[in-house]
């Protein structure tokens, strides 16, 4: 929403379709896309520009503000490590967590929802009842428990965070599957004796990619935020790696004495989340409008 | 409707059972004992402690005993806060979390719905951009940044409000609650505002609103009488679980403002291996979610006559 | 129609709940009354984490001990400087062999409900402390007393404990060996008396504020879990007339940054700690209110001596110990007045001269050169570096120290250190199992002001010998010291033992802790001390 153009939302058919149409929605979408791209490029290649390594301690400059002459463009943390490098390398982890955790939540949610929806009947009922049960779980709590108890490796973190929000996805996908499974092409495939698993994989899932993509784009910023919360609790990634969440939670403790420790990582985090949310909203609107126009055409 | 209530409560039992068993197993898989420390704890003392709380029996026995006690309403003792029962801790912590959470949800709902409607009135307008900008910012900045920032500005620099939420001098008074409630409400406000705006736009686009417009009804009547009720449905279904989560407390807000709520236990009890306290808060949370979802279903009936008839 | 009624009922119930929820709690009214009284002196203390228990037998952390010290009083107590002074016992006699202590209790000692406090109360309390059925966390405080170990282990009944009331105000305590620090030990909160009738009535709920009958300068009035504990003047306390504080409030201050903000907003009279990252800011802006004092705690890196690479490899251990620049570490990383540690027992310990590594006086370059030589002799080099893991528990300070030490080892020796951040209890378990652990961070806090609390830690049979150090010579010296009644000879034995141990380098002491508080200028009577005990009764407000 926000800066993204809203005229589209009110049922107007997007001018054409495809990526170009999406970007033509508004200036906000274009600005946010460019910003995200810039951040992604900076995060991947930026660390190469600095003479410092991520774990290098500069004993002469501990907890010092940004300075051009020392080469610490974002200042140093209270261990004398370069914040420019750490912020960008931290960005790699944050983005990785966002993407991988979302992928995992999609994987679980889509397969679960599609199976339940396609199978229907008793199986569907039982599977969805289980989802109801799981909704009552304090998931955040289980994530904390997992991180505490079974160490801090990245993969586990992806899985734990990703396992949080597959429930919504499962419900959405099930609904979509129900509406898709009696369409002609599915019936045809079934008549030809294509196994159920293949039908789901080849015919059902690809036909709801739109919904999935929209959902995923809104899930990525959520996942990044969850990771930052874990970091606040001290359950983030292992040293010397870091993440935006970790840098921000350390910086928040020194916002008065060393504001740069908060400012740089927090700006990166906030701008990234902001852009991701704007794009996610725009994507959803675009998708709705597209669906609306298709329905209108039908 | 009574049937709905009965049905929901019946489903709650297996839900809670699954919850307890899962939490129990996970907790007990964890390495580390509730009594370990860097200090000197001779093995004989540790054995005595384990015996005192029945932790030396087999796990199956312990689980059955716990479930039996739970059925009788006994949540067991706290292993760490050893002067307290788990039930006491929940009873003492919950009012704070409940007050704070409800205040935050009421604030978020009021402000969020208003902002959502205001934004939907003229999509693409200045106000829309501004409000949705704030809303997205609200879910883009972690609350462990917002909360200290609020304290720094309003308590330390300006001195308008107390930095801590609680204590005999400012014991969850109106003034003490302002900052934590605002920090807690911000992300919820953002979600509610976005949801309201989106569903309002959808409703305003529907045929009966067009009909109302064609009749020449004033815009205000259209928005509030005809548009709002259906537009609130998605907000209501969001509110249920969100309220349950918010009123069980927030670790971050409670730690930063020094509030005596329940939220800390979700983390602290796990770290302390306070087995019974962990199980207690998990069961309590599950119960709240069940109740909240039930309330949501009932509210749906209020808002949408079609649901009632079913 | 029926649905409408149900809905109306639900709406009414919701309204009722809302109204109830936002009603002021009882506590507030009390607080409001307290505020209204103009003359009442209220001391507001920042007290760190939530106290886990107020029953002396259940308490186990400093945040609980701080409160228990105000609520209860043992046979002995501390003066504002942390020195041992008479408590409930007004005097005592020691037998010539140092094995029998005869305490004479105050005639005017009473419980907060007015009951007289007698020697029988102490006998009951000590037996209960040792009783396995109690499951007391600090039962081992009694270990110098005859039969205590056997009772804790369940092989003797609690009645066999070597304490005895020979009169209403005379208590005899028999010890296994001369234990000069027994008077220090008696100040420990676990050694405070508990009120028998209340325990018999309430059991484990004795520690609840409505049930707690205590004998100290204050009596608990309110306990809002997660927020604060409030205690009021105990008018039955024998020293009540000297107490200038009417009410103490111990606030929960887990988040030290938030604690600082509350202190700055004038909501606390003194803090339990300070946020380390803001130390420089505090020094500049609140320098006059900052109190830093040595504290009986050594921060160290332990080495697992039972497995490679450290088993039987003293040269490697010594090389690592030498390659840490402790001055740099304490100045630039911890930076709040910590003392670099070249020995194990902290300075300021009673009757003791701090010992240090034999190489402690070498110049920094010589030290590094020597470390490199030892590292090479141990079979490592830049090409074949030592690859090792360091475990530390989740906390900002530990993380920062680990990063800095890792950098020093890497720079001077080429060690490839992997930092493993673990949750505290997981780490403790790993350390104790001595399987995956290689290097771990820990600190040892003296329970009483005597070198023995540190020496004992490395005794082979000590329950918590985390590094797995086993040196019969060291053990023999300790046992000799334990049997020694002459304080000077005992001291020499303990000092010799420490030198012996340091030469083996089973662990790497990094620095000695300090206690840090911010104290408002209007708080009078504050004295920095090595025990970091600050009894509210010693303070006053201006």
Residue range C67-113, pLDDT digits in tens: 999 999 999 999 999 899 999 999 999 999 999 999 999 999 999 99
The top-level CATH class assigned to A55-282 is mainly alpha
Q: Is C230 on the interface with B (CB under 8 A)?
A: yes
Which chain C residues are closer than 8 Å to B42 by Cβ?
Answer: 139-140, 152, 463-464
pLDDT score of C34 more than 70? no
The kind and range of the H/E element at C392 are strand C387-393
Band (A12; pLDDT cuts 50, 70, 90):
very low
Band (B1; pLDDT cuts 50, 70, 90):
low
CA C22, distance to chain mean position in Å, is 39
CB atoms inside a 10 Å sphere around CB C224: 23
- Residue A87 neighbours by CB under 8 Å, 6+ apart: A74, A244, A247, A264, A265, A268
- pTM of the predicted structure, to 2 decimals: 0.84
Residue range A58-72, pLDDT digits in tens: 888 888 888 888 788
Cα gap C111→C72, rounded to integer Å = 9
Cα gap C405→C315, rounded to integer Å = 18
CB C432 within 8 A of CB C463: no
How much of chain C exceeds pLDDT 90, in percent? 66
SS (H, E, C) C460-499: CCCCCCCCCCCCHHHHHHHHHHHHCCCHHHHHHHHHHHHH
Using CA atoms, how far residue A261 sits from A50, A72, A87, C255, C400, in Å, is 18, 12, 10, 19, 15
Domain positions in chain A are 55-282
- Residue C42 neighbours by CB under 8 Å, 6+ apart: C34, C245, C246, C247, C248, C249, C541
Cα gap B34→B56, rounded to integer Å = 13
Band (C1; pLDDT cuts 50, 70, 90):
low
CB atoms inside a 10 Å sphere around CB C366: 12
Selection from A272, B103, A238 nearest residue C392 by Cα: A238
Per the model's pLDDT, the better-predicted residue between B11 and C340 turns out to be: C340
Cα gap A292→A12, rounded to integer Å = 9
Cα gap C127→C159, rounded to integer Å = 7
CB A80 within 8 A of CB A62: yes
| Average pLDDT value for residue range A78-97 | 90
Q: Is B89 on the interface with C (CB under 8 A)?
A: yes
pLDDT at position A142: 78
Least Cα separation, residue A243 to chain C (angstroms): 15
- In the A/C pair of chains, how many CB contacts fall below 8 A? 59
Residue range B239-276, pLDDT digits in tens: 877 888 788 778 888 878 878 788 888 888 888 889 99
CB B63 within 8 A of CB C485: no
pLDDT at position A137: 76
Range with top average pLDDT, A105-119, B183-197, C121-135: C121-135
Q: Test A240 with C399 for CB contact under 8 angstroms.
A: no
pLDDT score of C48 more than 80? yes
Question: What residue has token string 């493993």?
Answer: C420
| Average pLDDT value for residue range A262-280 | 89
Using CA atoms, how far residue C476 sits from C144, C472, C500, in Å, is 18, 6, 12
pLDDT at position B64: 92
| DSSP per position, A61-100 | -SS----STTS-TT-B-TTS-BHHHHHHHHHHHHHHHHHH
Per the model's pLDDT, the better-predicted residue between A207 and C387 turns out to be: C387
- Residue C412 neighbours by CB under 8 Å, 6+ apart: C323, C368, C371, C372
CB C40 within 8 A of CB C34: yes
Residue range B173-191, pLDDT digits in tens: 677 788 889 999 998 998 8
| Average pLDDT value for residue range B154-181 | 71
| Average pLDDT value for residue range A1-13 | 38
Q: Which contacts of A34-37 are long-range, i.e. CB under 8 A and separated by 24 or more positions?
A: A35/A271, A35/A275, A36/A272, A36/A275, A36/A276, A36/A279
Using CA atoms, how far residue A214 sits from A202, A276, B22, B126, B201, in Å, is 20, 11, 32, 26, 18
pLDDT score of C317 more than 90? yes
| Touching subunits for chain C (3+ Cβ pairs under 8 A) | A, B
Least Cα separation, residue A64 to chain B (angstroms): 21
Residue range C253-289, pLDDT digits in tens: 887 888 888 898 888 999 999 988 788 889 999 999 9
Selection from C224, C266, C271, C249 nearest residue B259 by Cα: C224
pLDDT at position B35: 85
Q: Report helix, strand or coil for C110.
A: strand
Least Cα separation, residue A79 to chain C (angstroms): 6
| 157-186 of A, contacting B, C-beta below 8 A | none
Least Cα separation, residue C364 to chain B (angstroms): 32
pLDDT score of A247 more than 60? yes
Residue range C244-253, pLDDT digits in tens: 999 999 998 8
**Averaged pLDDT score across all residues of chain B:** 82
**Averaged pLDDT score across all residues of chain C:** 89
Comparing alpha-carbon positions, the chain B residue that sits nearest to C30 is: B168
Q: Topology of domain B95-272, per CATH?
A: MetI-like fold (1.10.3720)
Which of C485-510 are b and which e, b meaning 16 or more Cβ less than 10 Å from the residue's Cβ? eeeeebbebbbbbbeebbebbbbbbb
Band (C19; pLDDT cuts 50, 70, 90):
low
Q: For strands C439-445 and C523-524, give the pairing.
A: unpaired
Best residue of C273, C279, C407 to probe chain A, by most A CBs closer than 10 Å: C407
Residue range A180-235, pLDDT digits in tens: 888 888 888 888 888 888 888 888 888 887 778 878 888 888 888 888 888 888 88
Alpha helices, H only, A150-254: 154-162, 166-180, 184-191, 196-199, 209-232, 244-252
pLDDT at position A171: 85
pLDDT score of B192 more than 80? yes
Band (B309; pLDDT cuts 50, 70, 90):
very low
Cα gap C162→C155, rounded to integer Å = 15
Q: Is B157 on the interface with C (CB under 8 A)?
A: no
- Residue B10 neighbours by CB under 8 Å, 6+ apart: none
Band (A15; pLDDT cuts 50, 70, 90):
very low
Residue range C497-525, pLDDT digits in tens: 999 999 999 999 999 999 999 999 999 99
Band (A158; pLDDT cuts 50, 70, 90):
confident
Band (C18; pLDDT cuts 50, 70, 90):
low
Band (A1; pLDDT cuts 50, 70, 90):
very low
**Nearest Cβ partner of A232 from B119, B129, B144?**
B144
Using CA atoms, how far residue B56 sits from C38, C257, C463, in Å, is 54, 40, 20
Comparing alpha-carbon positions, the chain A residue that sits nearest to B123 is: A6
| Average pLDDT value for residue range C419-431 | 87
pLDDT at position B202: 80
Least Cα separation, residue B286 to chain C (angstroms): 20
CB C479 within 8 A of CB C471: no
The kind and range of the H/E element at C360 are none
Burial class (CB in 10 A: 0-12, 13-18, 19+), C3: middle
| 151-210 of C, contacting B, C-beta below 8 A | 152-154, 204-208
Burial class (CB in 10 A: 0-12, 13-18, 19+), A117: buried
Using CA atoms, how far residue B32 sits from C267, C303, C423, C430, in Å, is 37, 20, 9, 8
What do you get for the CA distance between the two ends of chain B, in Å?
10
| Average pLDDT value for residue range A26-32 | 84
pLDDT at position C199: 95
Q: Test C226 with B260 for CB contact under 8 angstroms.
A: yes
The two three-digit tokens of residue C421, written as one number: 């951040």
- In this structure, of A23-27, C205-209, C428-432, the range with the lowest mean pLDDT score is A23-27
Burial class (CB in 10 A: 0-12, 13-18, 19+), C481: buried
Burial class (CB in 10 A: 0-12, 13-18, 19+), C435: exposed
pLDDT at position C88: 96
pLDDT score of C138 more than 60? yes
Best residue of B136, B248, B288 to probe chain A, by most A CBs closer than 10 Å: B136
Q: Test A266 with B145 for CB contact under 8 angstroms.
A: yes
**Nearest Cβ partner of C204 from B40, B48, B77?**
B77
pLDDT at position C33: 45
Selection from B119, B118, B120, B23 nearest residue B75 by Cα: B23
Q: Test A9 with B201 for CB contact under 8 angstroms.
A: yes
Q: Is C332 on the interface with A (CB under 8 A)?
A: yes
Q: Test C7 with B302 for CB contact under 8 angstroms.
A: yes
What do you get for the CA distance between the two ends of chain A, in Å?
28
Residue range A125-151, pLDDT digits in tens: 888 888 877 777 777 777 877 777 766
| Average pLDDT value for residue range C393-406 | 90
Selection from C445, C451, C471 nearest residue C459 by Cα: C471
Band (C206; pLDDT cuts 50, 70, 90):
very high
CB A265 within 8 A of CB A253: no
Instruction: Supply the DSSP symbol for C215.
Output: -
Which of B247-259 are b and which e, b meaning 16 or more Cβ less than 10 Å from the residue's Cβ? bbbbbbbbbbbbb
């Amino acid at each position: 929403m926000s800066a993204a153009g809203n005229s589209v939302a009110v049922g107007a058919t997007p001018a054409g379709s495809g990526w170009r149409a999406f970007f033509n929605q508004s200036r906000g979408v274009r600005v946010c896309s460019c910003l995200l791209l810039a951040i992604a490029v900076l995060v991947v290649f930026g660390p190469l520009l600095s003479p410092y390594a991520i774990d290098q301690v500069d004993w002469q400059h501990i907890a010092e503000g940004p300075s051009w002459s020392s080469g610490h463009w974002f200042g140093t943390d209270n261990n004398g490590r370069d914040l420019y490098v750490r912020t960008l390398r931290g960005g790699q982890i944050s983005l990785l967590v966002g993407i991988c955790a979302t992928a995992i939540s999609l994987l679980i949610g889509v397969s679960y929802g599609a199976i339940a929806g396609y199978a229907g009947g008793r199986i569907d009922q039982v599977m969805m009842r289980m989802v109801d049960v799981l909704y009552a779980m304090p998931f955040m709590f289980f994530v904390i428990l997992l991180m505490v108890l079974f160490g801090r490796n990245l993969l586990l973190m992806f899985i734990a965070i990703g396992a949080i929000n597959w429930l919504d996805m499962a419900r959405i996908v099930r609904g979509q599957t129900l509406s898709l499974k009696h369409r002609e092409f599915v019936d045809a495939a079934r008549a030809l004796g294509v196994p159920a698993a293949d039908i789901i994989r080849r015919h059902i899932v690809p036909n709801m990619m739109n919904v999935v993509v929209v959902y995923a784009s809104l899930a990525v910023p959520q996942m990044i935020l969850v990771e930052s919360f874990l970091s606040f609790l001290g359950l983030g990634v292992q040293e010397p790696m870091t993440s935006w969440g970790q840098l921000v939670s350390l910086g928040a403790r020194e916002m008065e004495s060393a504001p740069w420790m908060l400012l740089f990582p927090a700006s990166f985090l906030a701008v990234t989340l902001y852009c991701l949310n704007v794009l996610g909203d725009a994507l959803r609107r675009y998708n709705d409008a597209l669906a609306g126009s298709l329905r209108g055409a039908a | 409707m009574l049937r709905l209530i009965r049905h929901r409560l019946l489903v709650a039992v297996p839900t809670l059972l699954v919850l307890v068993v899962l939490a129990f197993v996970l907790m007990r898989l964890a390495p580390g004992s509730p009594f370990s420390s860097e200090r000197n704890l001779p093995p004989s003392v540790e054995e005595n402690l384990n015996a005192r709380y029945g932790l030396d029996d087999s796990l199956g026995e312990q689980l059955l005993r716990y479930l039996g006690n739970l059925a009788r309403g006994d949540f067991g003792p706290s292993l760490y806060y050893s002067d307290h029962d788990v039930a006491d801790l929940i009873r003492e912590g919950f009012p704070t979390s409940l007050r704070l959470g409800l205040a935050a949800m009421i604030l978020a709902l009021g402000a969020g719905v208003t902002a959502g409607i205001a934004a939907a009135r003229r999509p693409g307008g200045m106000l829309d951009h501004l409000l949705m900008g704030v809303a997205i910012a609200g879910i883009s900045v972690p609350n462990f940044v917002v909360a200290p920032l609020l304290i720094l500005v309003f308590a330390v620099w300006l001195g308008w409000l107390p930095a801590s939420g609680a204590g005999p001098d400012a014991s969850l008074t109106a003034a003490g609650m302002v900052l934590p409630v605002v920090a807690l409400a911000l992300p919820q406000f953002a979600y509610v505002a976005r949801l309201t705006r989106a569903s309002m736009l959808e409703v305003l686009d529907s045929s009966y609103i067009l009909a109302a417009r064609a009749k020449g009804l004033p815009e205000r009547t259209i928005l509030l009488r005809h548009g709002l009720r259906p537009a609130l449905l998605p907000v209501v279904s969001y509110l249920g679980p969100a309220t349950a989560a918010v009123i069980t407390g927030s670790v971050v807000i409670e730690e930063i403002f020094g509030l005596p709520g329940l939220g800390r236990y979700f983390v602290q009890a796990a770290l302390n291996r306070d087995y019974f306290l962990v199980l207690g808060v998990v069961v309590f949370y599950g119960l709240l979610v069940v109740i909240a979802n039930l309330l949501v279903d009932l509210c749906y009936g209020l808002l949408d006559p079609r649901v009632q008839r079913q | 129609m029926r649905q409408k009624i149900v809905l109306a009922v639900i709406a009414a119930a919701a309204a009722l709940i809302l109204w109830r929820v936002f009603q002021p709690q009882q506590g507030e009214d009390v607080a409001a009354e307290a505020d209204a009284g103009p003359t009442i002196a209220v001391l507001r203390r920042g007290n760190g984490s939530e106290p886990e228990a107020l029953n002396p037998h259940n308490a186990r952390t400093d945040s609980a001990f701080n409160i228990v010290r105000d609520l209860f009083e043992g046979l002995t107590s501390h003066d504002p400087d942390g020195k041992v002074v008479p408590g409930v016992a007004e005097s005592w006699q020691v037998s010539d062999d140092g094995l029998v202590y005869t305490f004479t209790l105050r005639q005017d000692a009473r419980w907060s409900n007015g009951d007289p406090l007698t020697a029988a109360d102490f006998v009951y309390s000590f037996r209960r402390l040792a009783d396995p059925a109690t499951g007391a966390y600090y039962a081992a405080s009694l270990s110098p007393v005859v039969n205590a170990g056997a009772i804790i282990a369940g092989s003797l009944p609690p009645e066999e404990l070597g304490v005895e009331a020979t009169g209403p105000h005379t208590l005899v305590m028999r010890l296994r060996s001369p234990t000069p620090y027994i008077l220090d030990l008696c100040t420990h909160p676990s050694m405070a008396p508990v009120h028998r009738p209340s325990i018999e009535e309430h059991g484990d709920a004795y520690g609840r504020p409505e049930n707690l009958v205590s004998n100290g300068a204050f009596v608990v009035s309110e306990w809002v879990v997660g927020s604060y504990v409030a205690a009021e003047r105990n008018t039955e306390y024998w020293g009540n007339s000297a107490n200038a504080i009417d009410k103490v409030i111990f606030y929960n201050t887990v988040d030290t940054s938030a604690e600082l903000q509350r202190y700055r907003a004038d909501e606390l009279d003194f803090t339990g700690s300070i946020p380390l990252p803001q130390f420089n800011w505090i020094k500049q802006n609140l320098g006059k209110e900052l109190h830093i004092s040595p504290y009986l705690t050594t921060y160290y890196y332990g080495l697992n001596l039972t497995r490679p690479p450290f088993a039987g490899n003293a040269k490697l251990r010594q090389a690592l110990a030498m390659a840490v620049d402790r001055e740099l570490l304490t100045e630039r990383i911890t930076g709040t007045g910590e003392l670099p540690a070249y020995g194990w027992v902290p300075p300021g310990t009673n009757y003791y001269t701090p010992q240090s590594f034999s190489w402690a006086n070498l110049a920094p370059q010589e030290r590094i050169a020597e470390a490199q030589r030892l590292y090479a002799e141990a079979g490592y080099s830049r090409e074949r570096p030592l690859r090792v893991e360091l475990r530390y528990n989740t906390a900002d300070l530990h993380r920062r120290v680990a990063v800095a030490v890792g950098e020093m080892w890497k720079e001077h020796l080429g060690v490839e250190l992997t930092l493993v951040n673990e949750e505290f209890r997981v780490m403790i378990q790993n350390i104790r199992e001595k399987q995956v652990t290689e290097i771990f961070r820990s600190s040892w806090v003296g329970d009483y002001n005597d070198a023995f609390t540190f020496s004992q830690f490395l005794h082979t049979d000590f329950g918590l010998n985390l590094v797995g150090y086993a040196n019969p010579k060291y053990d023999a010296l300790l046992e000799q010291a334990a049997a020694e009644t002459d304080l000077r000879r005992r001291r020499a034995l303990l000092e010799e033992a420490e030198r012996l141990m340091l030469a083996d380098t089973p662990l790497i002491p990094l620095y000695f802790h300090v206690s840090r508080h911010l104290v408002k200028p209007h708080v009078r009577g504050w004295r920095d001390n090595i025990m970091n005990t600050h009894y509210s009764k010693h303070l006053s407000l201006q």
